[in-house]
């Protein structure tokens, strides 16, 4: 673990901007990079555009990030056009000391997992409020096929969890993939890898928002003292 130059007391938004800029150190000219989704990633996209680093382009995990990249004149490729990405930069809703994460607060978890699997290195950028000892405080997002919703709610209840369909304007939110999101509370995830494998095998689950198979290699954590650079062994 390494701590960069000290910073005075900062707002959460300022911490997000701080780690967004710090991630530029892992971007090299000429590369195609993976870009995630969310408010922290938006800060990274803006910093990337301002930096004038001449990347070849990006593969994006959401329609929102695609639009933001294109607005800055950064080419966006379909994942099928790029055999491998040098690096994937994304945020997290929670990250624990092993580099496993909960993601999907922005409903892009499935595409985020696909792009992460394509990258040689996953750099997680987050403010210190996302650092936890164990996963489960943040409601766990699960992308599901709608016809399986009620059965999956019952399966999570059998584990002690309470699952609800995520709504937008009073109706179920529809993901970029045309599916719904369950948000599950009341779970403590002691073995993220086993939990991810189990839930992903439930019929009707598109993907669960535990990132253990595609966990982070490195976390840039924004703190009032600066950016903590945390490397995870054998990620």
- Provide the annotated active-site residues: 112
Could you tell me which residues come within 8 angstroms of residue 184 by beta carbon, excluding any fewer than 6 positions away? 139, 140, 141, 142, 156, 161, 162, 163
Q: How many residues does the chain have?
A: 235
Q: Which residues are annotated as a binding site?
A: 37-40, 90-93, 103-106, 130
16 vs 230: CA distance, rounded Å: 16
Could you tell me which residues come within 8 angstroms of residue 110 by beta carbon, excluding any fewer than 6 positions away? 143, 175, 177, 179, 206, 207
Is the separation of the CB atoms in 140 and 183 below 8 Å?
A: yes
Q: Which residues are annotated as a binding site for substrate?
A: 37-40, 90-93, 103-106, 130
Is 152 in a helix, a strand, or coil?
A: helix
User: Which DSSP helix (H) or strand (E) runs through 207?
Assistant: strand 205-208
Residue 25, class by beta-carbon neighbours within 10 Å (0-12 exposed, 13-18 middle, 19+ buried)? Answer: exposed
97 vs 132: CA distance, rounded Å: 8
Is 59 in a helix, a strand, or coil?
A: strand
Tell me, rounded to whole angstroms, the distance of Cα 42 from its chain centroid: 12
């Amino acid at each position: 673990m390494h701590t960069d130059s000290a910073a005075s007391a900062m707002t959460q938004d300022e911490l997000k901007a701080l780690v967004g800029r710090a991630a530029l150190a892992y971007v090299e000219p000429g590369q195609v990079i993976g870009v995630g989704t969310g408010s922290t990633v938006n800060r990274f996209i803006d910093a990337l555009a301002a930096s004038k680093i001449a990347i070849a382009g990006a593969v994006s995990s959401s329609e929102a990030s695609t639009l933001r990249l294109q607005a800055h004149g950064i080419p966006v490729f379909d994942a099928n056009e790029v055999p491998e990405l040098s690096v994937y930069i994304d945020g997290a809703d929670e990250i624990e000391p092993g580099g496993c994460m909960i993601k999907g607060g922005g409903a892009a978890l499935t595409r985020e997992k696909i792009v992460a699997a394509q990258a040689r290195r996953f750099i997680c950028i987050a403010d210190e409020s996302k650092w936890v000892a164990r996963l489960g405080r943040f409601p766990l997002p699960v992308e599901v096929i709608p016809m399986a919703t009620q059965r999956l709610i019952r399966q999570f209840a059998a584990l002690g969890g309470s699952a609800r369909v995520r709504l937008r304007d009073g109706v179920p939110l529809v993901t970029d993939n045309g599916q719904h999101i369950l948000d599950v509370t009341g779970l403590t995830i002691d073995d993220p890898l086993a939990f991810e494998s189990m839930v992903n095998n439930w019929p009707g689950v598109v993907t669960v928002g535990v990132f253990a198979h595609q966990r982070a290699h490195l976390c840039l954590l924004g703190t009032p003292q600066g950016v903590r650079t945390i490397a995870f062994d054998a990620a």
